[in-house]
Structure 1
Amino acid sequence: MKIWANDPSSELVSVFADIARTRMADLPICNAALSVEAVGFARTPQGHWAGVMITPWAINLLCLPGQEEAWPVLAACSKHDWRFPSGDYEFTVAEEARIGNYHLCSLFSPAFEFPTQEQARLTALAVSHALHAEPMAAPDVAPAKAAAGRRAFLGLGR
């Protein structure tokens, strides 16, 4: 199993760009407006790497092993749920010779709704931010108490 000690983005771009030029070249599921780009890769709470991979044929969340510990050894095409600060997500196990074992969660496949790379990148950035961000907690203060507190703060009493 390949362990990624550092951000895998540049190697992912290299591998998927090669795939785009060879296996995926000229297939009708490819969006000619999109190119290969890795966006927002960061360590997960489990110590692995997760981010968004833009390709001409799909936009996927990827998760790659950042350490041997807590990385499930599963057969290709198996499913695995990963927990992130924003929630649990189902991934499919995949294998690529130069990448090794990784997990993917399809976001857009094919990715025809993106007329430009910039729109795909902005979407990927938003997804990456939402994936790694803690959900916003509801305020603990009831609205009536909050209004009373504001009135008191402003010197208006009750």
Structure 2
Amino acid sequence: MTPDRERYPRRSERTDASAWGERLAEGYRGISDRIMRELPFFNKALSVEAIGFRGHEGGIVGVMVTPRFMNVVISAPHGTAQSSTGPRSGLRLRFPCGALEFSPAEVAPVGPIASASLFSPMFGFDDMASTRAIAEAALAVLMSPVDHPASHWPNAPWLGLIDRRHFLRGELAERRT
């Protein structure tokens, strides 16, 4: 009998990535509950949520939303934690939109990760629904080649305003006059 992973690799990979994202979210929930809740940069209107975690080039990538930050997070490539030269050392990773700088870290339930900040602090976000939409848009841009704009939401004209330069700077929409 063939294991499900071999018969249905895409479904299994998607499930594994989603489960990994949920374990990571659990780790951040614990941190939020124990340490962050009373700090002034904690947005009490938001909660911790793993958005769109999926397989990517042998790893897992998605967006982690917390009441303190929104980061692109990837499971750290093998050996990343050991090869870093210090807590501030960066890791440059390639995505369809281009290369991004990530910072290695470790989160208890999943081990080594690498993250790139999109927003911090989160005071500009009023609710989880709009925060989730921004996280999904950021992930769509990340996974779209530079010459092919994200088209996951055909009824969202604001996506046309997102470009790689602004995404990499943490600004999702370019202001045009």
TM-score of the two chains, using structure 1 as the length reference: 0.75
- Choose which of 29, 35, 42 in structure 2 pairs with 1:23: 35
The structure whose RCO (Cα within 8 Å, separation 6+) is larger is: 1
| Structure 1 alignment gaps of length 5 or more | 138-158
Match of 1:97 in 2: 108
How big is each residue's C-alpha offset from its partner over 1:44-79, in whole Å with a ceiling of 9 and x where there is no partner?
Answer: 2x31111100000001111114x63xx533243310
- Choose which of 88, 111, 125 in structure 2 pairs with 1:114: 125
Match of 2:7 in 1: none
SS in 2 for 1:10: helix
What is the CA–CA distance in structure 1 between the aligned matches of 2:110 and 2:36, rounded to whole Å?
17
SS in 2 for 1:22: helix
Q: Would you say 1:13 and 2:25 are equivalent positions?
A: yes
Q: Give identity over the alignment, percent.
A: 33
Question: Quick one: which amino acid aligns to residue 37 of structure 1?
Answer: E
Cα root mean square deviation, aligned: 1.9
SS in 2 for 1:121: helix
Question: Quick one: which amino acid aligns to residue 142 of structure 2?
Answer: L
SS in 1 for 2:131: helix
| Structure 2 alignment gaps of length 5 or more | 1-12, 149-177
Question: Quick one: which amino acid aligns to residue 65 of structure 2?
Answer: I
Segment of structure 1 superposing worse, 51-60 or 35-44: 35-44
Match of 2:10 in 1: none
Work out the number of aligned pairs and report it. Answer: 130
Q: Check whether the contact 1:77–1:94 (CA below 8 A) recurs between aligned residues.
A: no
How big is each residue's C-alpha offset from its partner over 1:90-112, in whole Å with a ceiling of 9 and x where there is no partner?
Answer: 11111222221111111111011
**Residue correspondence of structure 1 range 12-91 to structure 2 within 5 A:** 12-44=24-56, 46-65=57-76, 68=78, 72=80, 73-74=83-84, 75-91=86-102
What is the CA–CA distance in structure 2 between the aligned matches of 1:76 and 1:94, rounded to whole Å?
8
CA apart distance, 1:132: 1.2
Question: Quick one: which amino acid aligns to residue 23 of structure 2?
Answer: E
TM-score of the two chains, using structure 2 as the length reference: 0.68
- Bigger fraction of residues in helix: 2
SS in 1 for 2:130: helix
Q: Check whether the contact 1:40–1:129 (CA below 8 A) recurs between aligned residues.
A: no
Q: Check whether the contact 1:52–1:60 (CA below 8 A) recurs between aligned residues.
A: yes
What is the CA–CA distance in structure 1 between the aligned matches of 2:74 and 2:87, rounded to whole Å?
14
CA apart distance, 1:32: 0.7
What is the CA–CA distance in structure 1 between the aligned matches of 2:50 and 2:108, rounded to whole Å?
18
Question: Which 4+ stretches in 1 moved above 4 angstroms?
Answer: none
